[in-house]
Amino acid sequence: MHLVPTQDEVVGLLRRTGGLREGHFESPNGMHGNEYLQVALTMRYYQHAKMLSVGLSRLLRGNAEIRAMIPQLSIVAPATGGLPVAYGVCEALQAHQVYWSEKDDEHLPMRFRQFLEQAPGEKVLLVDDILRSGRKLSELKQLVESRGAEVVGIAVIVYQPTPQIVDFSPLPLFYLAKLDVQFYRDAASCEMCKRGVPLEKVWIG
């Protein structure tokens, strides 16, 4: 592995560890796809998790503006998939702190733990395992900014943009691998359904 793992190395690791699966999957939103990504399955192996986090931290250090902020930087995740990435990146960077947002229910707004307060002008790096539609990270960004902190960048292990992805520019985006997946809006438009490929339902989209 390279110090910053290459796209092929990351994809190979995801496949070997069950984080990236080939098949015919239906998401809770009804979309069908030919691959299913679940980075948490790769992050369960500590040494692999560490290697990915260190690789991501090296990309972050390569950005002069981020590098200058590291001692004051907060690493903030929309729990839970982002937590191992957040701790790994914080350890590798020797950044200031890690915390995360939570939702008691999918329909309730995101929030932080009680008594957690942002310092005025606090610099925040948003971290997650995957960036797909950006819905969660966008909600987290708004929450962080509503509390007087400043988001300075976004870092994820895998960038897998959907057609409806939130536009985060001009924030810098850091990722180790970019994946394209064939999505079908529903069963009626799905080529694999037409060919009769066995379907597996997944409960995390």
Give the residues lining the site for Zn ion (CB under 5 A).
32, 190, 192-193
Of 110 and 193, the one with the shorter C-beta distance to Zn ion is: 193
Q: Which residue is closest to Zn ion by CB?
A: 190
Q: Which amino acid is at 27?
A: S
Least distance in Å: CB of 205 to Zn ion? 15
Provide φ and ψ at 52, rounded to 5°: -70, -45
Q: How many CB atoms lie within 10 A of CB 174?
A: 21
Least distance in Å: CB of 187 to Zn ion? 5
Of 12 and 23, the one with the shorter C-beta distance to Zn ion is: 23
- What is the spatial distance between Cα 82 and Cα 88, in angstroms, rounded to a whole number? 10
Least distance in Å: CB of 184 to Zn ion? 6
- What is the spatial distance between Cα 2 and Cα 144, in angstroms, rounded to a whole number? 34
Least distance in Å: CB of 168 to Zn ion? 30
Of 31 and 95, the one with the shorter C-beta distance to Zn ion is: 31
Of 171 and 193, the one with the shorter C-beta distance to Zn ion is: 193
DSSP character at residue 118: P
Of 12 and 205, the one with the shorter C-beta distance to Zn ion is: 205
Least distance in Å: CB of 178 to Zn ion? 24
Closest CA to 90 of 103, 78, 77, 102: 77
- The tokens of 148 are what? 């007087």
The vertex-136 CA angle with 75 and 193, nearest 5°, equals 130
